[in-house]
Amino acid sequence: MKKIWLVTKETFIRQTKGITFILSVLAPVIFIAIFFGVIFISQKLSGSDNQVDNAIVISKNYAPVVKDISNFEVKSEAAAKKALADEDIKGYVKVDVSKSGQISASWLGKEAMDSEDKANLMASLQKLQQSLNIQAAGLTAKQLKTLNQGVKFSEKISEHNGSAKEATQADLTAKQAKSIAANVFIWLTYFILLTYISTMAQEIATEKGSKIMEIIFSSMRGGDYFVGKVLGVLGVFLLHVLAYVALLGVAVIAGPKIEMFASFFRSNQELISQVMNNLLSWNLVLLLLSVILSIVIAAFCGALANRVEDLQKVLAPIMYLVIISLVAAPSLSRGDSMFAQVISCLPLFSGFILPGRIAEGVSGTPELVIATIVSVVTLALAIYFVRKAYPKLILQTDDGSIIKKIKRLRG
pLDDT at residue 48, rounded to an integer: 47
Question: What's the CA gap between 225 and 391, in Å, rounded?
Answer: 9
pLDDT value at 87 more than 90 = no
Average pLDDT, the chain: 82
Tens of pLDDT, residue by residue over 320-350, are: 999 998 898 888 887 778 888 888 889 988 8
| Edge-to-edge strand list for the sheet holding 54-57 | 72-74, 54-57, 91-97, 103-109
Alpha-carbon distance 102 to 308, whole Å? Answer: 80
User: Per-residue pLDDT averaged across 277-305, rounded?
Assistant: 87
Q: 99-134: buried (b, 16+ CB within 10 Å) or exposed (e) per residue?
A: eeeebeeebebeeebbeebeebbeebbeebeeebee
Domain ranges of the chain: 54-136, 170-409
d(CA 125, CA 104) in angstroms, rounded, equals 9
* pLDDT band for position 304 (cuts 50, 70, 90): confident
pLDDT digits (tens, 9 = 90+) for 349-388: 888 888 888 887 788 888 889 999 999 999 999 999 988 8
What does residue 108 show for φ and ψ, rounded to 5 degrees? -130, 120
Output the DSSP codes for 57-125.
E--TTTHHHHTTSTTEEE--HHHHHHHHHTTSSSEEEEEEE-TT--EEEEEEESSPPPHHHHHHHHHHH
Picking from 10, 381, 17, 13, the residue whose alpha carbon sits closest to that of residue 216 is 10
364: number of Cβ within 10 Å: 11
Query: Would the pLDDT of 103 be above 60?
Result: yes
pLDDT for position 132: 85
Q: What is the DSSP string of 360-393?
A: HTS--HHHHHHHHHHHHHHHHHHHHHHHHHHHHH
Q: Which residues fall within 8 angstroms of residue 283, CB to CB, at 6 or more apart?
A: 181, 182, 185, 351, 354, 355, 358
Tens digits of per-residue pLDDT, 131-177? 888 888 877 778 877 877 777 776 666 655 555 566 677 777 888 88
pLDDT, tens digit, for every residue of 205-254?
887 767 787 788 778 888 888 889 899 999 998 998 888 888 888 888 88
Angstrom distance (rounded) from CA 55 to CA 3: 79
CA distance 29 to 346: 31
CA 365 to CA 372: how far, in whole Å? Answer: 10
